[in-house]
Amino acid sequence: MTTTNSSNVVLDINNLVVGLGRKADAHRIIDDLSLQVHEGETLCLVGESGSGKSVTSLTVMGLQQKGTLVPSGGSVKLVGEELLTATDRRLRQLRATRMAMIFQEPMTALNPVVPVGRQIDEVLRAHTDLDSRARRQKILAMMEHVRLPDVERIFSSYPHRLSGGQRQRIMIAMALVLEPKLLIADEPTTALDVTTQKQILTLIRDLQRDHGTAVLFITHDMGVVAEIADRVAVMRHGRLVEAGPLQDVLRTPKMDYTRNLLSSVPSLVPRAPRPETSEPVVLEANELSKIYRERSLYGKAREVAAASNVTLTLRKGRTLGIVGESGSGKSTVARCIVRLIDPTSGGVRLAGREISDLSRRLLQPHRQKIQIIFQDPYRSLNPRVTVGESIAEGPINYGMPRKDALARARELLELVHLPPDAISRYPHQFSGGQRQRIAIARALALDPDVLVADEAVSALDVSVQAQVLDLLDEIQRRLGIALLFITHDLRVAAQICDDVAVMQRGRVVEQGPAAEVLTNPQQAYTRALLDAAPGRGWDFANFRPVSEGIVATA
Amino acid sequence: MAIDTLPESSLPVTRPFRVKFGFLTSTPIIAVATVCLVLIILMAIFAPLLAPHDPLLLTPAQRLKPSSAQYLLGTDAYGRDLLSRIIYGARISLVIGLGAAVCSIGVGLLIGLVAGFFRWVDAVMMRVMDGLMAIPAILLAIAVVSLSGASIWTVMIAITIPEIPRVARLVRSVVLTAREEPYVEAAISLGSSLPKIMWRHLMPNTIAPLIVQGTYVCASAILTEAILSFLGAGISPETPTWGNIMAEGRAYFQVKPSLIFWPGLLLSIAILSVNLIGDAARDALDPRMKQREGK
């Protein structure tokens, strides 16, 4: 637990103001922010997109876009030294030696054409007088320290040879090799799978304990907060909403915003199961396989099974979730079912009709029965086409007169809780959550029997995510649509799915009712996934640990 | 955001990424280039009003006269007024420049769209394009013109053909990236027909790079036409084109250098203006800058 002792404050941010541009009346990205991070403490900076948490970290590092983001007031002190007025030269010295940063995407943060060992070496060459032998010793020791296997080989490997988790370990090694006082971690585990995320979080916590580093940990994920934070600071629109020790903020949030944010986090405890139905089966996948063949000039062709023998059944009005980590083949299955790609073998029956072997032309009439929503609402809508035209495109394709199709688009916009006048606007005038609603309206325009949602809420902030999930639930109840819900997020799966199929390396390893699979998993892999889910001990929406909840209801 | 708020209804309904022509006055140099080009275009359009003499009228008594009140830039070896010939010459240059740009973009766009979308067409088409690119443009143009006879149309076609592969490649590369976009996949699952997907979802992505490419084609076509005329493989010598004027003036260079100087100067100004505008267009329409604004 933290001792609030002013003597060991490592990072001291006081009344920081960062404006957009140099003008005095410039829009304030950061407004009057004050934070302290103490030695050996982890402060989690939480907020939704646009809350200014990343700008805060970049300002501390002096890496903000010069001329665009201008710190115009307040102070940022690192172990007593003012950073806002420090020269570029001094800031360069301080980076790596006193403060270091790790980023979200380790692939883009590492130089792809330099071996990782040499990239860490660069830090040592710039800041120490060690000779090359001593540097190499130090780097190898550090790589062992971040628990990389086979360090000699990895030392001379290029970033693309390493896995995402290994790359992030290299980033951590690079950041910590000179034992800085302050480590800033900007969403370091967001791009990683849950099992890898768990390892990285443990690693950061262990290293911090050993070295007494102060950690400023930026995240949007309440689960991660519960795992790693000593103290929590909640930001919104560039202002500090609330700050305090982890237990206080999670148990007794003082501000409404924090309260809303926490209650939006879906619980890992599956929702009460809906009664079994005898509704007709609308979608069936039978031993569906997709094999990618990699032909090479010499030697044998390499085969990669992105999906093998996947069998799924979905009834009208039900939701089937496919969960798994990246590369497990869940998206491949979805795309085979929608026939965006052709399955190698196996069958897909849509409303009793086999569609997997139909030609493009014969498939045309069946397309309208199954529609898909994509992950990234910024890319799934054509920026040059109005919202109305986008929604009306499907019905027009199937012969509806343009005027009727646009009228239908209006109705659908109301169904997804957008004003009908949105029809003549362009996608860039809407936020991410609104765009996802538009994408849903577009998919519904054809009255499909099955809606496939491929990570449809993964790119959204939790509060928006909760709204979109509610919307999907409402639509399912009103229209009796069947949902195939692909997600990597077990929390989301627990809240929306009736049945769950867990996929690993192209195979379904476990399948069954959500309540059973997610509370009493039979397979080791499912158990590992559940174990790795961050913050599994917390029931955020009820402001208490899960264990207390069980006691209370028992 | 706790509540997924709507943007204010006062937000104007704007077309995003529509090609804006504000860049034409972005810097003084671009503005000067724009003015020059506009003047040359006006000169070509109003040539009959501006030219003091008939550009084809032979007056052998007035051969190689220096500048005077009657002949502002003097006369050529056949006693024709140089100024009038230069003014009329702008017509041919601009028609061929614009014509070649429009034709090569039209054909190249079609080939590029199809090649970008169908892999088997791609394999065949792109090899044909590679073959075309391997032939020097001038040689190909000379061959086409000498086989089919010189006229403004054959010259235009001769200049267009070697430009098509460049445009096709450009369009193909844009289509190859755009077809991976989820909104294209969404259109497929909405049951849109292929022509509709190409026209509505893929083609608009190519407009900005095509405008830029078009200016380059235009400039190079004007130049190629002048070279062909200069080599005697272009439009018939009595027709006033800047290349023809210079070709004839070559023989009298030591007697009257202005025969080459004035058409050469106008040719340079025209090409420089078009190229500068092309560069400005590229900067203004750069997709990365667009993304920055769009986000």
B131 to chain A, minimum CA–CA distance in Å?
25
What order of strands is seen across the sheet that includes strand A182-186?
A99-102, A182-186, A214-219, A42-46, A231-236, A239-245
pLDDT digits (tens, 9 = 90+) for B10-42: 333 444 445 567 777 778 898 999 999 999 999
The reply to whether A146 and A287 lie within a common domain is: no
The reply to whether A404 and A484 lie within a common domain is: yes
Say which of B2, B14, B200 has its CB closest to residue A385.
Answer: B200
Q: Does B177 touch chain A (CB under 8 A)?
A: no
Q: Does B245 touch chain A (CB under 8 A)?
A: no
Domain boundary among A179, A195, A222: A179
**A129 DSSP 8-state letter:** -
- For chain B, list the domains and their CATH numbers: 25-53+74-294 (1.10.3720.10)
Considering only CB atoms, which chain B residues are within 8 Å of A257?
A: 2
Dihedral Cα A100, A104, A105, A111, nearest 10 deg? -10
- Subunit contact B7:A430, Cβ cutoff 8 A: yes
pLDDT of residue B19: 55
Considering only CB atoms, which chain B residues are within 8 Å of A379?
A: 181-183
Q: Does B10 touch chain A (CB under 8 A)?
A: no
- Strand-strand pairing, A214-219 and A302-315: unpaired
- H helical segments located in A453-501: 462-479, 490-496
- H helical segments located in A128-193: 132-145, 151-155, 164-176
> Does the pLDDT at position A500 exceed 90?
yes
Two structure tokens written together for A63: 């890496």
pLDDT of residue B294: 38
Give the integer Cα–Cα distance in Å for B190 and A219. Answer: 36
pLDDT band at A435 (very low <50, low <70, confident <90, very high): very high
Asked whether residue A329 is assigned to any structural domain, the reply reads yes
Q: Does B183 touch chain A (CB under 8 A)?
A: yes
- Subunit contact B17:A463, Cβ cutoff 8 A: no
SS (H, E, C) A491-531: HHHHHHCCEEEEEECCEEEEEEEHHHHHHCCCCHHHHHHHH
In angstroms, the Cα distances linking A135 to A230, A324, B149 are 34, 40, 75
- H helical segments located in A177-326: 194-211, 222-228, 246-251, 256-264
Q: Three-state DSSP class for A329? A: coil
Considering only CB atoms, which chain A residues are within 8 Å of B189?
A: 338-340, 367, 370-372
How many CA atoms are closer than 13 Å to the CA of B284, on its beta-carbon side? 22
Domain boundary among A179, A207, A231: A179
Say how many CB pairs under 8 Å bridge A and B.
Answer: 97
Say which of A340, A398, A431 has its CB closest to residue B185.
Answer: A340
Q: Does B11 touch chain A (CB under 8 A)?
A: yes
pLDDT of residue A48: 85
pLDDT band at B290 (very low <50, low <70, confident <90, very high): very low
pLDDT of residue A105: 81
Asked whether residue A349 is assigned to any structural domain, the reply reads yes
Asked whether residue A274 is assigned to any structural domain, the reply reads no
Considering only CB atoms, which chain B residues are within 8 Å of A469?
A: none
The reply to whether A87 and A135 lie within a common domain is: no
Selected residues 180-209 of chain A with any CB under 8 Å from a CB in chain B: none
Asked whether residue A404 is assigned to any structural domain, the reply reads yes
pLDDT of residue A450: 94
Mean pLDDT of chain A: 88
pLDDT of residue A3: 44
The reply to whether A313 and A417 lie within a common domain is: yes
Say which of B183, B188, B200 has its CB closest to residue A381.
Answer: B183
pLDDT band at A297 (very low <50, low <70, confident <90, very high): low
pLDDT digits (tens, 9 = 90+) for A211-239: 889 999 999 889 999 999 999 999 998 89
Selected residues 9-48 of chain A with any CB under 8 Å from a CB in chain B: 48
The C-alpha angle A85, A88, A90, rounded to 5 degrees, equals 80
Give the integer Cα–Cα distance in Å for A412 and A438. Answer: 9
The reply to whether A52 and A122 lie within a common domain is: no
The C-alpha angle B283, B284, B290, rounded to 5 degrees, equals 105
The reply to whether A336 and A374 lie within a common domain is: yes
pLDDT digits (tens, 9 = 90+) for A327-374: 888 989 999 999 988 899 888 998 888 888 888 888 888 898 999 999
Instruction: Check: CB of residue A248 under 8 Å from CB of residue A216.
Output: no
pLDDT digits (tens, 9 = 90+) for B35-62: 999 999 999 999 998 888 888 888 888 7
pLDDT of residue B71: 83
DSSP secondary structure of A265-284: SPPSSPPPPPPP--PPEEEE
End-to-end CA distance of chain A: 31
- Subunit contact B190:A419, Cβ cutoff 8 A: no
Say which of B1, B14, B183 has its CB closest to residue A463.
Answer: B1
pTM of the complete model: 0.81
Considering only CB atoms, which chain B residues are within 8 Å of A50?
A: 1
- Subunit contact A384:B17, Cβ cutoff 8 A: yes
Taking CA–CA distances from A424, the nearest residue in chain B reads: B13
Q: Residue A291 burial (CB < 10 Å; 0-12/13-18/19+)?
A: middle
> Which of B3, B190, B200, B293 to mutate to test binding with chain A, by most A CBs within 10 Å of its CB?
B190
pLDDT of residue A142: 92
pLDDT band at B108 (very low <50, low <70, confident <90, very high): very high
Considering only CB atoms, which chain A residues are within 8 Å of B7?
A: 429-431
pLDDT digits (tens, 9 = 90+) for A163-172: 888 999 999 9
Give the integer Cα–Cα distance in Å for A452 and A324. Answer: 16
Amino acid occupying residue B87: I
The reply to whether A227 and A370 lie within a common domain is: no
User: If residue A366 lies in a helix (H) or strand (E), which one and from where to where?
Assistant: helix A360-367
Q: What are phi and psi of A171, to 5 degrees?
A: -60, -40
CATH code for the domain of A289:
3.40.50.300
**A328 DSSP 8-state letter:** S
- Subunit contact A463:B183, Cβ cutoff 8 A: no
B295 to chain A, minimum CA–CA distance in Å?
8
> Which of A393, A418, A444 to mutate to test binding with chain B, by most B CBs within 10 Å of its CB?
A393
- Subunit contact A425:B13, Cβ cutoff 8 A: yes
Q: Does B187 touch chain A (CB under 8 A)?
A: yes
- Subunit contact B190:A260, Cβ cutoff 8 A: no
User: What value does the mean pLDDT take over residues B223-246?
Assistant: 86
In angstroms, the Cα distances linking A393 to A400, A418, A428 are 10, 18, 18
> Does the pLDDT at position A124 exceed 50?
yes
- Subunit contact B182:A418, Cβ cutoff 8 A: no
> Which of A382, A390, A451, A484 to mutate to test binding with chain B, by most B CBs within 10 Å of its CB?
A382
Q: Does A447 touch chain B (CB under 8 A)?
A: no
Considering only CB atoms, which chain B residues are within 8 Å of A358?
A: none
CB atoms within 10 A of CB B66: 10
Asked whether residue A272 is assigned to any structural domain, the reply reads no
Give the integer Cα–Cα distance in Å for A131 and A128. Answer: 9
pLDDT band at A462 (very low <50, low <70, confident <90, very high): confident
Instruction: Check: CB of residue A184 under 8 Å from CB of residue A99.
Output: yes
Considering only CB atoms, which chain A residues are within 8 Å of B193?
A: 397
pLDDT digits (tens, 9 = 90+) for B56-100: 888 888 787 888 888 888 888 888 888 999 999 999 889 999 999
Q: Is the dihedral of CA B165, B169, B171, B175 positive or negative?
A: positive
pLDDT of residue A299: 64
Instruction: Check: CB of residue A243 under 8 Å from CB of residue A466.
Output: no
Give the integer Cα–Cα distance in Å for B42 and B40. Answer: 5
Q: Does B186 touch chain A (CB under 8 A)?
A: yes
pLDDT of residue B66: 82
SS (H, E, C) chain B: CCCCCCCCCCCCCCCCCCCCCHHHHCCHHHHHHHHHHHHHHHHHHCHHHHCCCCCCCCCHHHCCCCCCCCCCCCECCCCCEHHHHHHHHHHHHHHHHHHHHHHHHHHHHHHHHHHHHCHHHHHHHHHHHHHHHHCCHHHHHHHHHHHHCCCHHHHHHHHHHHHHHHHHHHHHHHHHHHCCCHHHHHHHHCCCCHHHHHHHHHHHHHHHHHHHHHHHHHHHHHHHHHHHHHHCCCCCCCCCCHHHHHHHHHHHCCCCCHHHHHHHHHHHHHHHHHHHHHHHHHHHHCHHHHHHHHC
Asked whether residue A276 is assigned to any structural domain, the reply reads no
Say what the ipTM of the complex is. 0.81
The reply to whether A161 and A209 lie within a common domain is: no
The reply to whether A131 and A73 lie within a common domain is: no
Domain housing A501: 281-553
User: What value does the mean pLDDT take over residues B194-211?
Assistant: 88
pLDDT of residue A389: 92
Q: What are phi and psi of B167, to 5 degrees?
A: -65, -45
Q: Does B182 touch chain A (CB under 8 A)?
A: yes
Give the integer Cα–Cα distance in Å for A256 and B2. Answer: 10
Asked whether residue A257 is assigned to any structural domain, the reply reads yes
The reply to whether A418 and A478 lie within a common domain is: yes
pLDDT of residue A392: 94
> Does the pLDDT at position B146 exceed 90?
no
The reply to whether A226 and A159 lie within a common domain is: no
Residue A544's DSSP bridge partners are A539
**A400 DSSP 8-state letter:** -
Q: Does A455 touch chain B (CB under 8 A)?
A: no
> Does the pLDDT at position B243 exceed 70?
yes
Amino acid occupying residue A7: S
Mean pLDDT of chain B: 84
Amino acid occupying residue A242: E
Give the integer Cα–Cα distance in Å for A336 and A372. Answer: 11
Considering only CB atoms, which chain A residues are within 8 Å of B183?
A: 379-382
Give the integer Cα–Cα distance in Å for A101 and A139. Answer: 18
Taking CA–CA distances from B196, the nearest residue in chain A reads: A397
**How many domains does chain A fold into?**
3
Considering only CB atoms, which chain A residues are within 8 Å of B185?
A: 340, 372, 374
Dihedral Cα B145, B151, B155, B156, nearest 10 deg? -150
Domain boundary among A150, A179, A208: A179
**Placement of tokens 């704007």 in the chain:** B14
Considering only CB atoms, which chain A residues are within 8 Å of B17?
A: 383-384
pLDDT digits (tens, 9 = 90+) for A31-51: 899 999 999 999 999 988 888
pLDDT digits (tens, 9 = 90+) for A388-421: 999 999 999 999 999 999 999 999 999 999 998 8
The reply to whether A160 and A293 lie within a common domain is: no
Say which of A48, A260, A397 has its CB closest to residue B190.
Answer: A397
Q: Three-state DSSP class for A79? A: coil
